[in-house]
Chains A and B, each alone.
Chain A
Amino acid sequence: DAKTTQPTSMDCAEGRAANLPCNHSTISGNEYVYWYRQIHSQGPQYIIHGLKNNETNEMASLIITEDRKSSTLILPHATLRDTAVYYCIVRVVTGGSYIPTFGRGTSLIVHP
């Protein structure tokens, strides 16, 4: 799996967009970018994933650069409940098994 690099921590004002970057410069053509988050002491929560096109769902948007070497998770209107550790995971999707492997992630603090 390609290695990912994320900032250790970030903060954001409530109501503003939170933009969480992830570098994955060694990503290969068949590797997807996944984002999960973990709110304190809870189980990780799937947010979104993509291959090369930008993706949007009810939780967030995922912007992947054209060369696929980096991506940004965007929470358009952050709330206090979005305070969590956010994990960027790059993984090949195969027909047999897919196992999210968690690093340290980015600790996002949303403040009033």
Chain B
Amino acid sequence: EPEVTQTPSHQVTQMGQEVILRCVPISNHLYFYWYRQILGQKVEFLVSFYNNEISEKSEIFDDQFSVERPDGSNFTLKIRSTKLEDSAMYFCASSPYTEAFFGQGTRLTVV
């Protein structure tokens, strides 16, 4: 069964460093999303991406964040200068239309 794949599963980075989280969505899906979940809190929407551009973004998705679909298969989330509060699970999702299918997440730890 097709699935969304995220790498790495766990990343530790120093505060102020740039990180790139990678996702391979399900082939033929049209909509792509990033979410995050801080430990013990709700799953929070960050950004949606459709037709090679951002379609919606939340207040969390500020200038420190960017997304890209560099080669038609990968979908990346970049955090330019990480802060301690960026420590969270980051989930990528893709959707053919309405049902979203999530990856297993990347645990980002900022130290």
B4-21 CB contact bits vs A (8 Å, 1 = yes)? 100000000000000000
Q: A46 near B56 (CB under 8 angstroms)? A: no
Instruction: Knowing A44-B43, A46-B100, A103-B42 are in contact, say whether A97-B89 is a contact too (CB < 8 A).
Output: no
Instruction: Knowing A41-B89, A42-B104, A43-B103 are in contact, say whether A98-B43 is a contact too (CB < 8 A).
Output: no
Determine the main DSSP class of A at the interface with B: loop
> What chain B residues lie within 8 Å of A29 (beta carbons)?
none
Name the residue of chain A whose CB is nearest to the CB of B33: A99
> What chain B residues lie within 8 Å of A17 (beta carbons)?
none
Q: B42 near A49 (CB under 8 angstroms)? A: no
Q: B42 near A43 (CB under 8 angstroms)? A: no
How far is A75 from B27 in the complex, measured between Cα atoms in Å?
A: 29
CB under 8 Å from chain B, chain A span 18-62: 32, 34, 36, 38, 41-46, 49
CB under 8 Å from chain A, chain B span 14-61: 31, 33, 35, 42-45, 48, 50, 55-56
> What chain B residues lie within 8 Å of A49 (beta carbons)?
98-99
Determine the main DSSP class of B at the interface with A: strand
A62-83 CB contact bits vs B (8 Å, 1 = yes)? 0000000000000000000000
- Beyond A43-B105, A46-B99, A101-B45, 7 additional pairs, beta carbon < 8 A: A41-B89, A43-B104, A44-B102, A96-B55, A97-B50, A99-B48, A100-B93
Seen from chain B, the residues whose Cβ lies within 8 Å of a Cβ on chain A are: 4, 31, 33, 35, 42-45, 48, 50, 55-56, 89, 91, 93, 95, 97-105
Seen from chain A, the residues whose Cβ lies within 8 Å of a Cβ on chain B are: 32, 34, 36, 38, 41-46, 49, 93, 96-104
